[in-house]
Amino acid sequence: MAYRWLVAAVPVVGIIVLIAGAGRAADTELRTQALSLFRPLVIDPSSASDALASRRVGLGKLLYFEPRVSADGTVSCARCHQPALYGTDALPRSIGAGQRLHPRHAPTVLNAAIQFVQHWRGDRNSVEDQAMQALIAPPSYGNLNYESAIAKIRAIPAYTSLFAQAFPGPADPITPEHWGQAIGAYVRTLVTPAPFDRFLAGDDAAVSTSAQKGLRAFMQIGCAGCHNGPGIGGTMYQKFGLREDYWTATASRTIDKGRFDVTKDPADMYVFKVPMLRNVAVTAPYFHDGGVATLPEAVRVMARVQLGRKLTDAELEDLVAFLESLTGRLPEDFTTSPILPASAQAVVPRP
């Protein structure tokens, strides 16, 4: 429960040396190239012994599943990032408090913490920042302000001591910042090592031959130029539609100007954070507006609008096989529901 998964701090070159002796020459070359672009997800055992971190993760898990803090009582992190749907809601665009439609598609929460920024336009610094601001975002929790959100947390008696235990010191530990930090601590544990990580670590049999061919193509035709790092994405911004306007291929109903609307810098027109591809095969639909329903179609669109390339059926099949090797195992602490504290004390107050 208290394990924290972190991106490997092991120098990449060390891993390469370690596994250089394994596998056939072709596999080794492929792996060496892959390790120069990606990173395996590994467990960091050092935080398992930290009682305070454990309490924060435990509180964060409760808050993640807690709908009573939202404006209409129906929105928790788990509404748009459901365990049963690999940390998504399977909708093109999420629906928040008061049936308000979110402007963009909700990506999976799994591995989200390892990205350099959060949200499609990078306007959230971290998962902690995202969780905190969600409290007052109209299409999310929809609270009018932080005060009303905090009042809803306080109304559930057990949270007073749970926050105090997770954030010892301040007289009043129930704050928006601590809400964000607790949820962030939990979300940072939601990491999903996949067959691809086992392949990177030296196990040739972890992924199919088709997936290995797909990995090679992914690096050769240019996908990995943007989709790289431990998340196979989530490391940079990029214009969506380098070779032709994205909406010509996605049939998007509205044209989203992306990061331009945040920075007003013309260089940011149609620029989005490059999404991670971990678990992409099980987290349809695709793109910032969820406008494409299937993974093969999404791959075709990307090859066309980013690389000006029409994929052969064989290339497409191999690329999809590679992307399927990024589907990881869900953490047990994600698929087991917490039991939330009661809304009110059942104990009768003594006169």
Q: Does 99 bind its own copies (CB under 8 A)?
A: yes
Per-residue CA distances from 217 to 30, 148, 308 (Å): 11, 51, 15
Q: Which tokens sit at 242? A: 């380098």
Tell me how far, at minimum, the Cβ of 5 lies from its own copies, in Å.
Answer: 19
Sign of CA dihedral 297, 302, 270, 288: positive
CB of 339 vs its own copies, minimal distance in Å? 6
CA dist 68 and 65 (Å) reads 9
- Distance in angstroms (rounded) separating the CA atoms of residues 301 and 294: 11
CB of 96 closer than 8 Å to CB of 140: yes
Q: Output the CA torsion 16→17→23→26 (10° steps).
A: 60
Q: CB 89 → its own copies: shortest distance, Å?
A: 7
25 vs 348, beta carbon nearer its own copies: 348
**Binds its own copies by CB under 8 A, chosen from 10, 13, 26, 84:** 84
Q: How far is the CB of 268 from its own copies (least distance, A)?
A: 31
Pick one of 46, 48, 52, 72: the residue that binds its own copies (CB under 8 A).
72
Window 3-32: residues binding its own copies (CB under 8 A)? none
Q: Which of residues 253-312 bind its own copies (CB under 8 A)?
A: 281-282, 284-285, 293-296
Residues 6 or more apart whose CB falls under 8 angstroms from that of 279 comprise 86, 87, 108, 110, 111, 192, 194, 326, 327, 328
Q: Nearer Cβ to its own copies, position 26 or 101?
A: 101
- Residues 4, 31, 55, 79: which binds its own copies (CB under 8 A)? 79
Are 256 and 288 in contact by the 8 Å Cβ rule? The answer is yes
Stretch that binds its own copies, among 18-26, 46-54, 72-80, 219-227 (CB under 8 A): 72-80
**Taking Cα atoms as reference points, which of 40, 55, 35 lies closest to residue 6?**
40
Least CB distance to its own copies at residue 321 (A):
9
248/312 with CB nearer its own copies: 312
Provide the 8-state DSSP code for 311.
P
Nearer CB in complex with its own copies: 196/334: 334
Of 17, 4, 7, 104, nearest to 45 by C-alpha is 4
Q: How many residues sit in the footprint of its own copies (CB under 8 A)?
A: 52
Question: Closest CB to its own copies among 302 and 316?
Answer: 316
Please list, in sequence order, all residues whose beta carbon lies within 8 angstroms of the beta carbon of residue 166, skipping any fewer than 6 positions away: 52, 55, 56, 58, 59, 173, 178, 182
Which span sits near its own copies by CB under 8 A: 6-14, 44-52, 64-72, 236-244? Answer: 64-72
Contact between 20 and 14 under an 8 Å Cβ cutoff? The reply is: no
Residue 82 sits in the site that holds its own copies (CB under 8 A): yes
Which one of residues 46, 125, 248, 343 is an interface residue with its own copies (CB under 8 A)? 343
Structure tokens belonging to residue 167:
């954030």
- Among 34, 89, 150, 240, which residue interacts with its own copies (rule: CB under 8 A)? 89
The footprint of its own copies (CB under 8 A) covers 65-68, 72-74, 78-79, 82-86, 89-91, 95, 98-99, 281-282, 284-285, 293-296, 313, 316-317, 320, 323-324, 330, 334-340, 342-351
